[in-house]
């Protein structure tokens, strides 16, 4: 069974929402609201990594994603140095993998022009990066 998390802000761990699971923008597949500022923290168990695979993606497009965006961090906080990707428009990003146990997904929208948003599946991968060290 695939659990869906569509709240604007959430903390997901193996105890609160066992993987695999799904995260979406608010109101998905209907248009997301104005002025959204959503943070979803996904925390894998120790010795696991987070894999986030985009299934659907449709946000307002703009230069440098200045209006609406989905930003994924390889961290449990929004640290500019830990950005894995920042996306907007309708080209579906394929997937993101954390180097540790934490991944922060931040979705923001401005005060106009809304689309259906995004849907992504998360899962936990055992020891993905330990094999490289």
Element (H, E) at 37: strand 37-43
Task: Tell me the residue length of the chain.
Answer: 133
Dist. CA 47–CA 68, nearest whole Å: 33
Summarize the confidence of residues 20-24 as an average pLDDT.
Answer: 92
What pLDDT sits at residue 41? 96
pLDDT tens digits, one per residue of 77-116: 999 999 999 999 999 998 999 999 999 999 999 999 999 9
Is the CB of residue 13 less than 8 Å from the CB of residue 95? no
CATH of 3-126, one of 2.60.120.290, 3.40.50.2300, 3.40.1260.10, 1.10.3720.10: 2.60.120.290
**Bond into 29 cis (ω within 30):** yes
What pLDDT sits at residue 19? 74
From the number of C-beta atoms within 10 Å of its C-beta (0-12, 13-18, 19+), residue 2 rates as exposed
Neighbouring CB atoms inside 10 A of 112's CB total 10
Is the CB of residue 130 less than 8 Å from the CB of residue 29? no
């Amino acid at each position: 069974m695939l659990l869906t998390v569509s709240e604007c802000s959430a903390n997901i761990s193996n105890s609160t929402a066992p993987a695999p699971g799904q995260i979406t923008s608010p109101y998905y597949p209907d248009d997301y609201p104005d002025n959204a500022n959503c943070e979803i923290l996904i925390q894998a168990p120790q010795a696991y990594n987070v894999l986030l695979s985009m299934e659907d993606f449709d946000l307002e497009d703009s230069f440098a994603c200045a209006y609406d965006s989905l930003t994924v961090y390889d961290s449990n906080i929004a640290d500019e140095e830990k950005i894995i990707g920042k996306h907007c428009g309708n080209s579906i990003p394929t997937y993101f993998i954390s180097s540790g146990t934490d991944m922060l997904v931040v979705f923001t929208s401005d005060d106009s022009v809304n689309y259906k948003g995004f849907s992504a599946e998360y899962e936990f991968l055992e020891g993905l990066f330990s094999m490289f060290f």
